[in-house]
C-alpha cells in the first residue's frame, strides 16, 4: 500500500514513579518496555515524529466534564493531571497545526471514569478523553467529535459522560460484557433519548482476532463515521485486546492494531488499558505510532506472533457478521427509534448502581433527562454513595435550547441543598461550574 507520511506528535509519559499499588497492573513498570522499544527503534529521530512534554490539566478542565465528589482536588493526584494534561497537549499540537496527528502515550487511563465520580473505578479516576474533548470544544470551536474506544473493556465512563450528547459519537468495541469487566456495553445501549445513535456498542466474542476487529471497522465503524462526519476522530487506544493480555481473552495483534489505526486515521490517540507490558505493548505501540505517521509497519511483529494460532473460529466470524448487520440497521433507523423509546414522556429516568472496584465504593444514582428535540436535554442527577456523600447535579448541554436552560437554571436556584452534601451546576455551553 502506498502511504503518505504524516507528521505525528508523541506525548510520552510513562510515570515511572507512580502506581495504584505495588503489584497492581497499573504500576511503574507498565510502559518500561514500550519506552525501550520506542527508543531502540529510533522513532524519535525520524523527521516526521516529534515528542512533546505533557502539560498539566487544571481542575477547571476536569469540572467541564465531571461532577467530582466532593471536588476534583480530592479525587486526583498529579499523575491524573499529567495524564489528562498529556491528552490535552496532544489535542493542542494537532489543532494548532503543529502536527497532523498525535498519540498521548500516557498513564493512568480514564475511560471508566463516569460523569459523577466518587472515586476510582477500573483503574480510572478521571476520564482523560472527556477532559480533552471538553478542552477542544471550549478552545477550538469544534462541534462534532467521534471517540472510537478500542480498549478491550467497554468504555462505560466515556459513554456515561456523553450519553445525552448528540454531537459526540462514542463507539466502543470490546469483549462481550457477559465475559469481562465492566459487564456492560451491549448493542441496545444506543444513547439517551435525545442522542440516539450517538452511542454505539460493538461487543465482540472472546477470541476475536484481527479479522473480526477489522470486519467491524470496515462494516460498522467507518460507514457510521462517514455519515456522522466528525471534525475530529479520537482513538481511545486500549491495547488489551492483544492475544497475550493477562486480564482479557481476545486475539488481536500488533499488525491488527496498526492496520486499524491506519484505516481509522484518528487525529488523536490516547492510551487506555493494556497490561501485557512485555509481550504486547512494545510492539503494539510501535505499530500504532508508525501507522499514524504513515510509515511502513510491516516489520512490527511480536516475537511469538503466529496468525494461524490465534485466528478466530468460523462461528465467531458468523456471530460478528450478524451483529454488525444488526448494529448498522439500528444506526440507519436511529431517528425513527426516538418515538418508540420516548412515547409521550416529558422526562426519562435511568437508575444506576455503580461499583467502584478500584476504591471499593458503591453508588446509587438516579439520572433524569428532559426529552427535547432541540438539544441534548437538561440532565439532573441524584447520587448517593456508601461514603455517606449524597449529591445533586444539574447539567446543561452544549447548544442548550432556551427551555432546557430556563428549567435547569430555575431548578438549581430553587434547589434545597439541605439533604445533600453538595449540589452542582454544570453549564457545558457557557462553561460555568458552580458547586455549593
Partner 1 sequence: MILGIDVGGTHTDSVLVENYRVKKKIKVKTDNDNIMSSLLAATRETVSGEKVSNIKRIVLSTTISTNAIVQGKTDRVGMVLQNGPGLSPRFLIHDRDAFLVSGYINNRGISIQPVNEREIKEIGEYFQKENIHQIGVAGKFSPRNPLQEIKIAEILEDNERNFSLGHRLSGQLNFPRRAATTYLNAAVHNIHHRFIREAQKFLHESNIDVPVYILKADGGTILIEQSIFYPALTIHSGPAASIMGVLATADMKEDAVALDIGGTTTDISVFADGVPLLEAAGVTIGRLKTLVRGLCTKSIGIGGDSAVRIKNGEISVGPDREGPAAALNGPVPTPTDAMIVLGLAALGSKQKALDAINSLAVQLNMDTVSMAETIMLKAAAIIADNVNLIIAEINNKPVYTIHDLLEGRVIKPLTVYVMGGPASAMAPGISNLLGYPYKIPDHSEVANALGAALSRTTAEITVLADTEKKELIISEEGIVKKIPHNFTARQAIEAGREALQARAVKMGTSLNDLEMEVTEAQEFNMIRDFYTTGKNIRAKIQIKPGLISSSPAKER
127 to each of 109, 119, 159, how far by Cα in Å?
8, 12, 11
Q: What distance in Å separates the CA atoms of residue 286 and residue 35, rounded to the nearest whole number?
A: 10
Question: Which residues ranging from 272 to 291 are in contact with partner 1 (CB under 8 A)?
Answer: 278, 282-283, 286, 290
Q: What distance in Å separates the CA atoms of residue 326 and residue 220, rounded to the nearest whole number?
A: 10
Strand boundaries in 34-186, DSSP class E: 49-52, 67-68, 101-106, 116-117, 145-149, 168-175
In the list 78, 143, 309, 430, the residue contacting partner 1 (rule: CB under 8 A) is 78
Instruction: Report the nearest approach of partner 1 to the CB of residue 360 (Å).
Output: 18
Instruction: Report the nearest approach of partner 1 to the CB of residue 53 (Å).
Output: 5
50 closest CA partner among 88, 12, 4, 23: 12
Binding mask 27-56 for partner 1 (x = CB under 8 A): xxx--xx-xxx-xxxxxxxx----xxxx--
Give yes or no for residue 295 binding partner 1 (CB under 8 A). yes
Instruction: Report the nearest approach of partner 1 to the CB of residue 120 (Å).
Output: 17
Is residue 110 within 8 Å of 272, Cβ to Cβ?
A: yes
Q: Pick the piece of the chain touching partner 1 (CB under 8 A) from 13-21, 119-127, 258-266, 402-410.
A: 13-21
Q: Is 112 noted as a catalytic residue in this protein?
A: yes
Give yes or no for residue 3 binding partner 1 (CB under 8 A). no
Question: Which residues ranging from 339 to 398 are in contact with partner 1 (CB under 8 A)?
Answer: none
Question: Which residues ranging from 195 to 254 are in contact with partner 1 (CB under 8 A)?
Answer: 246
Instruction: Report the nearest approach of partner 1 to the CB of residue 165 (Å).
Output: 32
197: helix, strand or coil: coil
Instruction: Report the nearest approach of partner 1 to the CB of residue 258 (Å).
Output: 12
* Closer to partner 1 by Cβ: residue 44 or 432: 44
Determine which one of 66, 80, 112, 242 is catalytic.
Answer: 112
Task: Give exposure, 306-345, as e/b (b: 16+ Cβ within 10 Å).
Answer: eeeebbbeeebbebbeebbeebbebbeebeebbeeebeee
320 closest CA partner among 202, 233, 225: 202
Footprint of partner 1 on this chain (CB under 8 A)? 12-18, 22-23, 25, 27-29, 32-33, 35-37, 39-46, 51-54, 78-79, 82, 246, 278, 282-283, 286, 290, 295-296, 298-303
Could you give the residue numbers annotated as active site?
A: 112
Amino acid at each position: 500500500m502506498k502511504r503518505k507520511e504524516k507528521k505525528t506528535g508523541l506525548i510520552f509519559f510513562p510515570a515511572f514513579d507512580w502506581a495504584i499499588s505495588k503489584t497492581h497492573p497499573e504500576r511503574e513498570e507498565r510502559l518500561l518496555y514500550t519506552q525501550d522499544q520506542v527508543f531502540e527503534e529510533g522513532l524519535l529521530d525520524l523527521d516526521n515524529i516529534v515528542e512533546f512534554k505533557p502539560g498539566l490539566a487544571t481542575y477547571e478542565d476536569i469540572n467541564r466534564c465531571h461532577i467530582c465528589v466532593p471536588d476534583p482536588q480530592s479525587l486526583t493526584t498529579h499523575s491524573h493531571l499529567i495524564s489528562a494534561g498529556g491528552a490535552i497537549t496532544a489535542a493542542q499540537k494537532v489543532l494548532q497545526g503543529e502536527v497532523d496527528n498525535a498519540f498521548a502515550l500516557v498513564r493512568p487511563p480514564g475511560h471508566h471514569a463516569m460523569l459523577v465520580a466518587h472515586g476510582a473505578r477500573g483503574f480510572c479516576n478521571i476520564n482523560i478523553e472527556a477532559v480533552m474533548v471538553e478542552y477542544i470544544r471550549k478552545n477550538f470551536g469544534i462541534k462534532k467529535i467521534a471517540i472510537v474506544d478500542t480498549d478491550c473493556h467497554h468504555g462505560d465512563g466515556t459513554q456515561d459522560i456523553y450519553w445525552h450528547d448528540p454531537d459526540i459519537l462514542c463507539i466502543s468495541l470490546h469483549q462481550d460484557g457477559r465475559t469481562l469487566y465492566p459487564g456492560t456495553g451491549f448493542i441496545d445501549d444506543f444513547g439517551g433519548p435525545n442522542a440516539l445513535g450517538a452511542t454505539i456498542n460493538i461487543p465482540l466474542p472472546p477470541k476475536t482476532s484481527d479479522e473480526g476487529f477489522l470486519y467491524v471497522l470496515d462494516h460498522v465503524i467507518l460507514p457510521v463515521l462517514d455519515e456522522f462526519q466528525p471534525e475530529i476522530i479520537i482513538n481511545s487506544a486500549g491495547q488489551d485486546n492483544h492475544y497475550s493480555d493477562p486480564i482479557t481473552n481476545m486475539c488481536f495483534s500488533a499488525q491488527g492494531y496498526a492496520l486499524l489505526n491506519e484505516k481509522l486515521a484518528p487525529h488523536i490517540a490516547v492510551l487506555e488499558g493494556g497490561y501485557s507490558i512485555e509481550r504486547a505493548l512494545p510492539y503494539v505501540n510501535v505499530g500504532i505510532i508508525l501507522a499514524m505517521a504513515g510509515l511502513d509497519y510491516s516489520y512490527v511483529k511480536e516475537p511469538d506472533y503466529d496468525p494461524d494460532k490465534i485466528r478466530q473460529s468460523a462461528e465467531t466470524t458468523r456471530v460478528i457478521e450478524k451483529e454488525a448487520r444488526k448494529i448498522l440497521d439500528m444506526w440507519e433507523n436511529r431517528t425513527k427509534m426516538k418515538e418508540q423509546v420516548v412515547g409521550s414522556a416529558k422526562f426519562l429516568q435511568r437508575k444506576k448502581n455503580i461499583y467502584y472496584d478500584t476504591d471499593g465504593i458503591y453508588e446509587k444514582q438516579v439520572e433524569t433527562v428532559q426529552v427535547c428535540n432541540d438539544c441534548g436535554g437538561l440532565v439532573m442527577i441524584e447520587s448517593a454513595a456508601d461514603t455517606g456523600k449524597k449529591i445533586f447535579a444539574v447539567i446543561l448541554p452544549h447548544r442548550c435550547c432556551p427551555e432546557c436552560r430556563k428549567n435547569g437554571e430555575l431548578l438549581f436556584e430553587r434547589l434545597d441543598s439541605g439533604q445533600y452534601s453538595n449540589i452542582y451546576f454544570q453549564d457545558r455551553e457557557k462553561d460555568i461550574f458552580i458547586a455549593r
